[in-house]
Amino acid sequence: MENVRKIIENFTCEYVENYKKTWLKAKLSSKDDLLNLSEAIKKEGLRSLSTVSPTDFLEDNIMEMNYFFEDLDTKRNLWLKVDLPRDKEGCKIESLTPLFASANWHEREAFSMFGVQFLNHPDLREIIKSEDFKGVYPFRKDFDWDAHEKNQTQNIQQIVDAFKKEQNENEKDLDPDSSETILNWGPTHPASGPIRLRVHCDGEEVISIDPDIGYVWRALEHLVTKKDFVGAIVAVERLCFMDNINSMVGYCMAVEEIAEVEITPFASWMRVLLGEVARVSSHFMGLGGFFNNMGLHTLGMWNMDTREFFLDFLESYSGARIATASIEPGGVRYGLDMSMFDELQKALDKFDNSVGEVEAVFVKNPTMKLRSDNVGILTKEEVHEFGLSGIVARASGVKTDIRIDEPYAAYGELDLEYITQEKGSAKDRFMMLFLDLKQSVEIIKKAKAHIEKAVADAKMNPTKDHMVKVPKKLPKGEAISRVEWARGEVLMHLVTEEKAKTPYRLKMRAPSFNHTMMLNHLLKGQTLADIPLIFGSLYICQGDLDR
Amino acid sequence: MLKILDFFDYAKSESLWMAHFCTGCCSLEMAAAMGPRYDWERYGYLPTPTPRQADVLMITGLVSKKILPALLRTYAQMPEPKYVVAMGACSFDGGPYNDSLSVIKNPTEILPADVFIAGCPPKPEAIIEGLEQVKQKIKNGEPSAASQGGLWKEMEF
């Protein structure tokens, strides 16, 4: 960390300060230094750029850029800020994509939503937002959404026209005598979900892939600014329905940091327990999806059966199977009736009884191994370069897991170990999912035992300890929080104004965004039949891809 | 003669196939309804990968502006008679995304639904109950709502 600090102090900064245990926070005085500084810290080892998040301060006439650099090996992180003018001519900065490949789509997103121009970006096209927003920047504070929405039919017409134009023109550069063509994979492909891949292929061989995303764009980051701090959890949990608890945990941690509130031990253990239940139910779908994409639906069905028991527990706790809204700033929303653990015990028993069979039939399946062991290989170096996280990174042997790197909730009291695979192939990612699932179930067992013991010893009161009060109005401030989500690292960057009742800005860095960026890289030169397999192995959810 | 027609309606209603098309989060509960515990195949429902073989289009939750043309195109590709089922709060009025202006708040004004299934997301039992109501509608020989009107007829997609 000292080395990083020394490097930064070579440049003129407004401040350099320590932030949390593993973070350094600095603000550059001039945007001209950004490129040189980034190059220097890349050499030092901070090789991944997690995300780029502009914040639009309308009154100060400033666009504040936030860069989050990470070193997945030594767990050193840097939060770098630099101010830009807001106006169209001045809102320009050097692109970091030539240095950090992971910046590519994140800079495109910042360009689409805030109109920040990145100089020397190799491919600065708009992304996520639909065609009717072309040339306007919806997340700027002075953008008039209501005026834009007055004529919905016309907006839809614009989207249709753009699509038709693209379909008419997309093959005009191709040689008509060759077998090259451009295929649309999705958005109605059974394996794709709402995403469209423009596959440029020559017969069976894939030449390049250009994902077209934004089919479930709900502008969540804008939506939360219209809600109060508690109401915002409804939007945050819809980041992705498969694992909604952990995204709420991340958001609530950021709110609690600004409000300077400590949650109770009971609440933090419940966050671990509920978070792992959500992770388990998500991983079940992921494992099933991998085999579904290869054409075998049995594992999906078996997993769905076990998953129902875990959802039963969530239902008994919160009343809802999926949209639980059960994590709130200040703790967890509901108290716990100890009889609810009976449902959880049923789920754990069901898992223990069925996991052996799943392992024997599917995890050790020789046909699966033969098919997927040599496709979609991601090296360690690429994980760093493209800022990948979660099971995708661990499958390539990179030891990264936010639960261990930067423990939150009660994870610090659990003795967790990194689980990794070596090769980084599609099979390894599948194996990783399965091992992660098993680890999660072990964590649930430990958390459950811990809560039961503490309640029996009268150290925790499950009906009263679940919440501490968080003021409705928050002071001016900002915070970041990171959680290990089912798909990888979620980074939340929350900014509040003086006496704020609503978030001023919430940036959600979601892992599927980076993983989808890898599709072109992984599928170049492969065959069409590999698309569903590799797509399935990357464990992508469109919800957090588009937000 | 009347009896033979009744038989066709009966046969149609007992093997409803739906186009496999996810527009939003509710598709997760649709997957649960396919699963072993609820097993909607017992009632004759089956997702099919192509709209050409489908009888029912399910609007699974939110419809964003970008996916609406694809949804309407899928509907247009389905053979008659075809029915529309709207799932979840989003398909009624935008639900939790009501404040978000990139989501369409009136998808069923554009493509009228025969049955609404309430919930966010609806429970699998509710989905099956909703599809049972579609069955009843077919057995009664009622025409589908989308064939009667809706903004989709005036739109280009």
Residues in chain B closer than 8 A to A241 (CB atoms): 25, 28, 121
Chain A residue with minimum CA distance to B21: A188
Provide φ and ψ at B114, rounded to 5°: -80, -35
**pLDDT of the residue at B5:** 64
Provide φ and ψ at A92, rounded to 5°: -135, 145
Across the interface, whether the CB atoms of B64 and A215 are under 8 A apart is answered yes
Across the interface, whether the CB atoms of A323 and B104 are under 8 A apart is answered no
Give the tens place of pLDDT for each residue, A257-277.
998 888 888 899 999 999 999
Encoding tokens for residue A5?
Answer: 């600090």
Q: What is the count of structural domains for chain B?
A: 1
Q: What is the pTM of this model?
A: 0.90
Residue from A340, A352, A284, A335 nearest A312 by CA: A340
Across the interface, whether the CB atoms of B65 and A132 are under 8 A apart is answered yes
For testing contact with chain B, the best of A127, A216, A220, A240 (most B CBs within 10 A): A216
**pLDDT of the residue at B2:** 58
Across the interface, whether the CB atoms of B66 and A130 are under 8 A apart is answered yes
Residue B29 sits in a domain whose CATH number is 3.40.50.12280
**Beta strand ranges found along A97-243 (DSSP E):** 117-119, 180-185, 196-202, 205-212
Judged by average pLDDT, the poorest of A168-182, A330-344, B32-46 is A168-182
Q: Does pLDDT of A1 surpass 80?
A: no
Across the interface, whether the CB atoms of B25 and A146 are under 8 A apart is answered no
Return the CATH fold of A2-122: Beta Polymerase; domain 2 (3.30.460)
**pLDDT of the residue at A313:** 92
Give the one of B20, B100, B121 whose C-beta lies nearest to A219's C-beta: B100
pLDDT band at B1 (very low <50, low <70, confident <90, very high): low
Give the tens place of pLDDT for each residue, B121-144.
899 999 999 989 998 888 888 888
Give the tens place of pLDDT for each residue, A196-236.
888 888 888 898 898 888 888 888 888 898 888 888 898 89
- Segment A475-499 shows an average pLDDT of 89
- Segment A292-309 shows an average pLDDT of 89
Give the one of B20, B28, B104 whose C-beta lies nearest to A242's C-beta: B28
Provide φ and ψ at A423, rounded to 5°: -85, -35
pLDDT above 70: percentage of residues in chain A: 100
Mean residue pLDDT of chain A comes to: 88
Residues in chain B closer than 8 A to A148 (CB atoms): 101
Residue from A126, A129, A34 nearest A84 by CA: A34
CA distance B156 to chain A (A): 7
- Segment A345-366 shows an average pLDDT of 90
Distance between CA atoms of residues B144 and B106, nearest Å:
18
Superfamily classification of domain A220-329+338-546: Cytochrome-c3 Hydrogenase, chain B (1.10.645.10)
Distance between CA atoms of residues A288 and A305, nearest Å:
11
Q: Does pLDDT of A281 surpass 70?
A: yes
Across the interface, whether the CB atoms of A159 and B65 are under 8 A apart is answered yes
Residue bearing the bigger pLDDT, B149 or A277: A277
**pLDDT of the residue at B126:** 92
Give the tens place of pLDDT for each residue, B55-90.
899 888 888 888 888 888 899 999 888 899 999 888
User: Within an 8 Å CB–CB cutoff, is residue A284 touching chain B?
Assistant: no
Give the one of B37, B64, B156 whose C-beta lies nearest to A218's C-beta: B64
User: Within an 8 Å CB–CB cutoff, is residue A187 touching chain B?
Assistant: yes
Distance between CA atoms of residues A276 and A231, nearest Å:
23
For testing contact with chain B, the best of A130, A297, A304 (most B CBs within 10 A): A304
Distance between CA atoms of residues A255 and A232, nearest Å:
11
Residues in chain A closer than 8 A to B53 (CB atoms): none
Q: Does pLDDT of A161 surpass 70?
A: yes
User: Within an 8 Å CB–CB cutoff, is residue A109 touching chain B?
Assistant: no
Residues in chain A closer than 8 A to B19 (CB atoms): 188
For testing contact with chain B, the best of A189, A238, A285, A542 (most B CBs within 10 A): A238
Domain boundaries, chain A: 2-122, 220-329+338-546
- Segment A383-408 shows an average pLDDT of 89
Across the interface, whether the CB atoms of A187 and B156 are under 8 A apart is answered no
Residues in chain B closer than 8 A to A307 (CB atoms): 32, 35
**pLDDT of the residue at A353:** 92
Count of CB atoms situated within 10 Å of the CB of B4: 7
Residues in chain A closer than 8 A to B36 (CB atoms): 301-302, 304-305
ipTM of this complex: 0.88
Scored b (16 or more CB within 10 A) or e, A47-81 reads bbbbbbbbbbbeeeeebbbbbbbbbbeebbbbbbb
- Chains A, B: CB contacts within 8 A come to 121
CA distance A245 to chain B (A): 15
Residues in chain B closer than 8 A to A159 (CB atoms): 65-66, 68-69
Give the tens place of pLDDT for each residue, A388-398.
888 999 999 88
Give the tens place of pLDDT for each residue, A125-143.
888 888 888 888 888 888 8
Domain that holds residue B104: 2-154
Beta bridge partners of A200: A182, A208
Across the interface, whether the CB atoms of B69 and A305 are under 8 A apart is answered no
User: Within an 8 Å CB–CB cutoff, is residue A146 touching chain B?
Assistant: yes
**pLDDT of the residue at B3:** 66
Encoding tokens for residue A494?
Answer: 């929350």
CA distance B20 to chain A (A): 6
**pLDDT of the residue at A310:** 92
Give the one of A149, A159, A301 whose C-beta lies nearest to B69's C-beta: A159
Question: Residues near A28 by Cβ (< 8 Å), separated by ≥ 6?
Answer: A11, A12, A13, A14, A34, A37, A80, A81, A82
pLDDT band at A443 (very low <50, low <70, confident <90, very high): very high
Chain A residue with minimum CA distance to B19: A188
- What is the three-state SS of A230-260? CCHHHHHHCCCCCCCHHHHHHHHHHHHHHHC
Question: Residues near A415 by Cβ (< 8 Å), separated by ≥ 6?
Answer: none
